Structures are given as C-alpha cells and as structure tokens.
C-alpha cells in the first residue's frame, strides 16, 4: 500500500532543529535563513553531540564561513520564493538587504562556490515550485506564472521546458497517467 504525503521542508527542518536543541538544553533562537543563534558557548562535547544528532537527519553544521554564507543565500532565496509577499522583490536587492553584503560580493562568492549563478539557482527553484504547484494544486498555468512572478505564461513555460525538457502541460499529463496507473493497480 502506498500513502502519499505532502510536507513543508522548512517546517520539518525547524521542528527537528528545535527538538534536538531542546533535547540538549541548548538555549537558542532559530532564524529563517538557516542559522541558529546559540545563547551561550557550547562545550566541545555539546557541539559534537549536536553535530551527531543533526547529522542523523541529514542536517549538517557548516564550519566554513564561505560555505555557510552560500547556504544562507540559498535559504534566503527559498524563503523569498515561498513567501507570496516577498516574491515580487528584486532578488539582488533582497539578498543584499537581508544578508548585509553587496550583491556583487554575494554573486561572486555563490558562483565560485557552486559553479552556477544566483540567477540560475533562482530559475531552478522557481521551476521546482512550479512543478509542486502543478502537481499539488488546481491552479492554472496563468495563476502559477502570476504567483511565481513570471511576466507571462510563455516565460514560465520556456524556463520550465529548458530545465525539465517538458512543457508544463506534458509534465501534468505524465503525472495524471502515473496517478491513473496507480489507481488501476490497486483495483
């Protein structure tokens, strides 16, 4: 028997972080950009235990500041794209304001570390969000394009096809066929 589930990765991750930090009695504040503000200095043993506990969930503590900043860039972009009120902001301005670095610095660091641009990362994330909306809502492509701040359905469709190799409509057709096949297999 298959059970389909839907979950919010951000809520899931924050819940795991809170549970593990509370379990170790570490006073903290969780920030929305993948950062934990620890309210006291941790002993080596506490840090080791925290790293071990979080690692069991695929959550890793970043010790390299450059890597940590790149992750903060990714988290901030995700936060921006998943919030209806923030999607219309210009990415360069939002990142610079939120992370307190010039966009040029952030862009260069991101490209050097990930071998792709921030702009390309944003496109990949927007296509992922479009796939999720196509698969899990009854929104039209026009509504999805508007929600993701695309200038037109054609713009969304072009980027979608470039990234996935499929048009959004073909993607939806494949999902529907898979769903029909699963239903038929259970009968």
- CB contact at 8 A, 49 and 25: no
pLDDT in tens, 56-70: 988 888 777 888 899
Rounded Cα–Cα distance for residues 61 and 35 (Å): 10
Predicted pLDDT at 163: 95
Work out the average pLDDT over 127-142.
Answer: 93
Q: Is 160 exposed, middle or buried (0-12, 13-18, 19+ CB in 10 A)?
A: buried
Q: Yes or no: is domain 120-187 CATH 1.10.10.60?
A: yes
What b-and-e string marks burial along 62-79, b requiring 16 or more CB atoms within 10 Å of the CB? eeeeeeebbbbbbbbbbb
For the ranges 12-16, 38-42, 59-63, the lowest mean pLDDT is seen at 59-63
Tell me what percent of the residues of the chain surpass a pLDDT of 90.
53
More confident residue, 34 or 150: 150
Query: Looking at the predicted structure, is the pLDDT value of residue 32 above 70?
Result: no
Instruction: List pLDDT tens digits, range 79-112.
Output: 899 888 887 789 999 999 999 999 999 999 999 9
Task: Please report the pLDDT score of residue 4 as a whole number.
Answer: 78
Q: Tell me the average pLDDT across 33-56.
A: 86
Q: Is 62 within 8 Å of 71 (Cβ atoms)?
A: yes
- pTM comes to 0.70
| Structure confidence at residue 186 as a pLDDT band (50, 70, 90) | low
What pLDDT does 12 receive? 87
Q: What is the mean pLDDT of residues 31-46?
A: 82
Distance of alpha carbon 25 from alpha carbon 49, whole angstroms: 12
Give the tokens for residue 92.
């360069």
Residue 9 has pLDDT above 70, yes or no: yes
Domain limits, the chain: 8-61, 64-115, 120-187
Structure tokens at 21: 């930090």
């Amino acid at each position: 028997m298959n059970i389909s589930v839907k979950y919010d990765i951000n809520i899931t991750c924050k819940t795991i972080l809170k549970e593990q930090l509370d379990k170790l009695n570490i006073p903290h504040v969780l920030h929305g950009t993948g950062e934990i503000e620890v309210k006291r200095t941790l002993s080596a043993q506490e840090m080791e235990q925290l790293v071990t506990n979080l690692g069991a969930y695929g959550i890793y503590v970043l010790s390299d500041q450059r890597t940590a900043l790149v992750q903060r860039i990714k988290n901030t972009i995700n936060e921006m794209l998943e919030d209806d009120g923030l999607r219309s902001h210009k990415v360069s301005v939002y990142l610079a304001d939120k992370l307190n670095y010039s966009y040029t610095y952030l862009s260069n660091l991101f490209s050097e570390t990930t071998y792709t641009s921030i702009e390309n990362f944003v496109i990949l994330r927007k296509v992922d969000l479009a796939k999720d909306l196509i698969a899990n809502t009854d929104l039209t492509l026009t509504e999805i394009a508007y929600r993701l701040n695309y200038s037109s359905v054609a713009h969304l469709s072009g980027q979608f096809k470039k990234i996935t190799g499929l048009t959004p409509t073909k993607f939806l057709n494949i999902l529907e066929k898979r769903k029909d096949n699963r239903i038929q297999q259970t009968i």
